[in-house]
Chains A and B, each alone.
Chain A
């Protein structure tokens, strides 16, 4: 019998108040082993207070070859940024 263990993506919250961040991946047969392996591989130096794992095959990603048109709608809307507006020098705080 020869079967590859599935691949899992690992996300770690480095401390309370911050969001989970992708740190890498690993192989494990199930979610319990994935969490334990993630602890041993990615948090040997107190890098985390919480771990998420998700099997890589369940992640849907945007297409990098399509990223220019895909993100284009936001590109010409400079008025969404505060720096688009002039604030008179007399106004000290805004």
Chain B
């Protein structure tokens, strides 16, 4: 069987909507693309804990604090589901983590923006998780089985994240004028970065075409972005808040909202590492990794010691006791 034949057979499976599973034959480029995408997604979940973690100790009530703790814990879980999915492709967990810590791997740029007020926690749940859900619902149908299955779990949990965020926004938007202003300010700062989460325009997206052919992605960046704007505008209107885009208006002919041009210079600048918090985020991850080293080592030493005890004869064990 020639190599070309294998690739044709692989594409035929994809076209027939047969999921690809870990031990199935796959082109190396498919494997590499998935490892890159899934690990970046995992890194995003882990780094995404940092901006929200910032507010756990300062949540305005015990109820909010418990909810935020649960949400941040979910993000850790999502990172773990995704690292596991990447490992089914032959990636090594520790190497993936190293790529994050050394800056070799990317994560979603949105987490390089600071959370400067409590309203930001509302805006993140509503907008950032809302945008993530758009993307992740699509990915529940990805052609790679373990990735798609991880996405199903994640989507179930994300919808709580979005609703708790919107609830915070509702509470503040209906509160005092100062609180409403905080909510508006958070929307002003998070709106554009949220639109950037969908990635570059289709024409400028390096990996999109092949990923669509392999059915890793099923919608383009621009399609998903439009979908997000369309569902989010009425939600902002309900809150009585104004989306910070003078060009935003309903287009009767298209049946969609038109919206203004994204600041792509800012987008690429943050991707390249020059966002407000890039360095701080990686420093926090490196510190956590280094501070946790002794725990990882102690756990291994403990497991080894236990294994050795199992090897010792029952008689010797009885004598030792």
Contacts and interface: CB of A to CB of B under 8 A. Distances in A.
Interface string A20-60: 00001111011001000000110011000000000000000
A24 B84 contact: yes
A7 B90 CA distance: 12
A25 B84 contact: yes
Interface string B25-56: 10000000000000000000000000000000
- Tier of interface size on chain A: 20 to 34
A77 B24 CA distance: 26
A67 B52 CA distance: 47
B306 interface: yes
Contacts of B297: 1
A45 B70 CA distance: 11
B222 interface: no
A87 B131 CA distance: 54
Contacts of A65: 25
B81 A5 contact: no
A26 B84 contact: yes
A80 interface: no
Contact of B81 (A24, A29, A45): A24
A1 B301 CA distance: 10
Contact of A4 (B74, B88, B92): B92
Nearest to A37: B80
A64 interface: yes
A44 B300 contact: no
14 contacts: A4-B93, A5-B299, A5-B300, A24-B81, A24-B85, A25-B87, A26-B84, A30-B306, A33-B299, A33-B303, A41-B77, A41-B81, A44-B74, A63-B23
